[in-house]
Amino acid sequence: MRWYADAPARRSRQVVADLLVLGWVVLWVLVGRWVFGLVMTLAAPADPLRSAGTGLESRMTEVAGRVIEIPLVGDQLDAPFTGAAGVGTDLVSAGDRLESGVRTVAWLVSLLSAGTPILLVLLVWAALRVAWVRRARALGREVADPQSQQLLALRALVHQDPRRLQELHPDPVGAWRSGDPEAVRALADLELARVGLRSR
């Protein structure tokens, strides 16, 4: 299976197309990373929430521990402080949920924004390249067989510009009918050249 043409001009165009597709993919990956970072800025309040919640929880737990030491009433006074420490825990959880939610959205947005143009271009590129590979493989199998060369020569008579055919032979149809091996080979080579191949 060949991926590139034999003809230098056609092969150069294929290599340039591959490099352009690669550049397109790299560009959109960078755009996707930028979009991810941009969306993640929405998670900025998560850190202050967590730090405030951690601070509130530790302070209220500390106060509850000291209040409980008060004789007679300590057990009754620690409940509000323990409840406030629970609010601090809730704030930490809220910060975690905010960051997790924003991260999920950032992944979705960045994958959609970068993946869509990448996928579209890759599908077009792959369709064109696979079509060329299949055509080149089919034509390549026909080169060695003399009867297949006749078929390639006939295709050339059908598809090629008449002026190009007459440049090869004054009477290309007559040469093909008579089975002139040189003319048939030249016509077959002309048909192969349409896809950038050469007879080997």
Q: Give the angle subtended at the CA of 135 by the CAs of 132 and 138, to the nearest 5°.
A: 150
pTM given for the model = 0.66
pLDDT at 111: 93
The tens digit of pLDDT for each residue in 112-138 reads 999 999 999 999 999 999 888 887 777
The tens digit of pLDDT for each residue in 7-38 reads 778 888 889 999 999 999 999 999 999 999 99
Distance (Å, whole) CA 45 – CA 192: 65
Distance (Å, whole) CA 165 – CA 179: 16
Contact 106, 32 (CB under 8 A): no
* pLDDT, mean of residues 151-166: 74
In this predicted structure, the answer to whether residue 171 has a pLDDT above a threshold of 70 is yes
Sign of CA dihedral 149, 152, 154, 160: negative
Phi/psi region, residue 180 (left: phi>0; alpha: psi -120 to 50; beta: rest), is beta
Q: What DSSP designation does 169 have?
A: -
Going by pLDDT thresholds of 50, 70 and 90, the confidence category of residue 105 is: very high
In this predicted structure, the answer to whether residue 87 has a pLDDT above a threshold of 80 is no
